[in-house]
């Protein structure tokens, strides 16, 4: 359990640190996106967290360490974007590949974490 909290916290900390550095860098091109009402998204995040815990504890899903670490990374990333919405009313995106919509490390943690979680569920 402790390693899950550490993994989620690490995802959140890396995301927030990278966004802070991107905002401070004059060379970085920042984009922002607004994704609805933060209070509603917070309730959805909490409901998803409760559902994931219930599924893992019931033995129905997410029984491997890799699956649970993937979930922790995804929830940490989602918390990073949610924190942006609560603080700034917009998510800060700074990774721009040109051929893909801009994104941030939280998005990477969400997608990568969910891929790990469901491929090892």
Distance, in Å, from the CA atom of 113 to the CA atom of 70, rounded to the nearest integer, reads 4
Paired tokens of 18: 């990278």
Say whether 93 is catalytic. Answer: yes
Paired tokens of 108: 């990477």
Nearest to 118 by CA among 68, 79, 84: 68
Say whether 96 is catalytic. Answer: no
Q: Annotated catalytic sites, by residue?
A: 93, 107
């Amino acid at each position: 359990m402790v390693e899950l909290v550490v993994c989620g916290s690490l995802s959140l900390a890396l995301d927030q640190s990278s966004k802070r550095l991107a905002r401070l860098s004059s060379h970085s091109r920042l984009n922002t996106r607004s994704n609805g009402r933060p209070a509603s998204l917070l309730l959805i995040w909490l409901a998803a967290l409760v559902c994931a815990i219930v599924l893992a504890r019931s033995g129905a899903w997410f029984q491997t360490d890799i699956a649970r670490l993937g979930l922790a990374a995804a929830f940490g990333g989602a918390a990073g974007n949610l924190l942006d919405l609560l603080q700034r009313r917009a998510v800060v995106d700074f990774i721009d590949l040109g051929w893909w919509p801009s994104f941030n490390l939280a998005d990477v943690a969400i997608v990568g974490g969910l891929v790990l979680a469901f491929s090892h569920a």
